[in-house]
Amino acid sequence: MHLMGKRVLVTGATGLIGGRLIERLREHPDVSIRALVRDPTRADRLRAPSVEIVTGDITRPETLPEALAGCHVVVHCAARVTERGSWEEFWRSNVEGTRHVLEAAARAGVERFVHVSSVAVYGLFPPDHTDESSPYQPCGNAYCDTKIEAEKVALEYFRQRGVPLVIVRPGIVYGPRSQHWTIRIIELLKADRLFLLGRADGFCNHAYVDNVVDALLLAMTNDDVVGEAFIITDGRATTWREFFGHYARMLGRDALPQLPAAPAKALLRLVGWAARLRGHPPPLSPKVVDYLQHRAVFRIEKAKEHLGYAPRISLEEGMRRTEAWLREAGYL
């Protein structure tokens, strides 16, 4: 399917992936773009002659039919990704919100629906060499488990309502404007609050934001992949020590402070206990120590062979671009 003359709706347009997708789509003047946002005042960087800003909320289904009217392609990037929030809040955004967008898309008769999921559907501790044939792994984490349920809803609409679905499952998405895996790391480093917990020699299956957008563009246009799901990473697993080390070097630091696994877990249990006494959720679970030591690589052969995906930007180049943006934005 060619995008020429098509209208593309992007949900989560002010977020990392949605915003970068719109910036890339703006390079194609023959494509009309509709950006779904909750707060138009946060959409200034998206504005262009080819971009229509529409106000809506995936948790308010009555706002969606008008937003999808006349759209040929929907790329559903909106999701709750914060570490905090109740199960009900995650369910409302990630599961019910996805259902609302799919229902509006089914009624609008869209030609393609690209659902942005996550490798989190394989749980916190997936087996090595995980690929698209690997089963879902619910793990009690609200984000992971609601992303699984969101995929199930999407597949239901594909099978029962004929929505032409493609699922994209990115790894750890970093790069300019990445709140969780770029900005927050720099802020923690500057505050001397980032430590390597345990050996930190587990694998980070990272995905530079533009590599993810490349995959989304392929999912929007490849006619042979409807009904399929694709894992997207940079094609190289990096240890967490190396990944965080790139950010440390941006601040002129050669090494990060480290806590051995047992003391780190004990400290996190103590911090969690103190937080609960104050009526707050624990900031981090002791499981994070095991997560940073877990060695599993996600395979992207299916995306390469069937989607035509090839990661263009290496970790080194991605970090170079990220550092340039961080300096320009005043974080460094």
Domains and CATH numbers, the chain: 7-175+202-240+296-313 (3.40.50.720)
| Strands 7-11 vs 73-76: parallel, antiparallel or unpaired | parallel
Entry pTM: 0.95
**If residue 182 lies in a helix (H) or strand (E), which one and from where to where?**
none
Angle at CA 191, nearest 5°, toward 250 and 284?
A: 105
The predicted pLDDT at position 271 comes to 74
The amino acid at 179: Q
DSSP state letter for 56:
-
Per the structure block, which two tokens stand in for 20?
A: 């970068």
The predicted pLDDT at position 22 comes to 98
The span from the CA of 54 to the CA of 31, in Å, is 16
HSE on the CB side for 10, CA within 13 Å?
29
The predicted pLDDT at position 46 comes to 94
Distances (CA, A) of 122 to 15, 126, 127, 145, 183: 23, 6, 9, 9, 25
The span from the CA of 33 to the CA of 8, in Å, is 5
Q: Using DSSP, state whether 198 is helix, strand or coil.
A: coil
- According to DSSP, the residues that pair with 197 across neighbouring strands are 259
- Within the chain, which residues score under 50 in pLDDT? none
The predicted pLDDT at position 10 comes to 98
**106-125, pLDDT tens digit by residue?**
999 999 999 999 999 999 99
Which string of b and e fits 228-258 if b means at least 16 CB within 10 Å? bbbbbbbbebbbbbebbbbbbebeeeeebee
